[in-house]
Chain A
Amino acid sequence: MNVVVMGCGRVGARVSIILHQHGHQVTVVDTNPEAFRRLGEKFKGDTLIGTGIDEDVLRRANIESADVFIAVTNGDNRNIMASQVARTVFDVKHVVVRIYDPVREDTYRRLGLRTVCPTTTISALIIDLINDVLPDDEEL
């Protein structure tokens, strides 16, 4: 599959490396060229400097032939806008967007985006871990 990943932070780099190892064609987009170092030597996918909210940048990232678009920069709004561009302008089939703000995440999930909210997911995991050690009547 052809995958475009926007944002080469820890998550973006890791997802890109894993998908590349599984034989997929990955293009990673980030405004900061330094960020591509996280991909390591073995990564043989493409990298592109630029912002994913710009249609021209996405086009250069071959979004037109992409099956998957993943938006994982640190900016919720940037991720939201880029994934809407991917979906609406380029008809990318599978779009996944990370949104930190739970309210925004909820709103855009209702509007049809495939969202991941680290805030609610990780909070739930932590609560789960604590619940294990709490006496039963204090369960959160």
Chain B
Amino acid sequence: MYIIVVGGGKVGYYLTKTLLVEGHEVLLIERDRHKVEVYGDRLGSVVLAGDGAEAAVLSEAGAQRADVVIAVTGEDEDNLVVCQMAKAKFHVPRAIARVNNPKNETLFQRLGIDVTVSQTEHILKLIEQKIPEKSFVHLLNLRHDELTIVEAHVSEGSQVAHKRVSDVQFPVHCVIAAIIRGPDPVMAMPTIEILPGDELIIVTHSHEEEELKQMLMEQ
């Protein structure tokens, strides 16, 4: 895949480095020329100096053939405009924005950004995950049709415990993507029995999340 990363802070730098190791073609766009030089020495010729919200810079970066644009500057307004320009002007199929103010997550999705990543929100969610009572955790939002990925812990008293997947009446648009049993992911085959202690990874419509939660939390 060809991935353009905009914003050479710590997130952008390590993201670029990791994506390169994973074998992707990556270009990092950063405004600060000094940083560009330093990163160039470390990463090779995959760093471009410029403002990623400027069409000329995106064009030089080859945005028209990019599969993904990821905007991870520290400013939400810059991340928003980079993603919108990439989509409107260069028809980049997937735009991902880092959201510094968690309140902007829903706004960005309404404004056409495919995926938003909020560090603040993420850390909050990680904390929630570590609190045992939080047995239903919202993991990630996907933009298309407002989809959501949630993780649900199955307790002994849960009404889905000891039932087969096919016997559970989930809300219409819920799909169990995987069952995490101990250290292993298990395919959620219709015949498999849900056990206490399982973690269910479920993809659902956002508007059905509450219904799903009620259902899974019911004892």
Contacts and interface: CB of A to CB of B under 8 A. Distances in A.
Query: Size range of the interface on A?
Result: 20 to 34
A22 to B, nearest CB: 31
B111 A104 contact: no
Interface string B99-131: 001010001001100000000000000000000
Interface in B47-105: 53-56, 75-78, 80-81, 84-85, 88-89, 101, 103
B77 A75 contact: yes
Given A107-B85, A107-B88, A110-B88, A88 B77 contact: no
Contacts of B81: 76-77, 80-81, 104
B107 A77 contact: no
A82 B103 CA distance: 14
Interface residues of B, number: 19
Contact of B75 (A56, A77, A84): A77
Contacts of B111: 84, 88
A39 B126 CA distance: 47
Contacts of B56: 103
B88 A111 contact: yes
Contacts of B75: 77
Contacts of B76: 53, 81
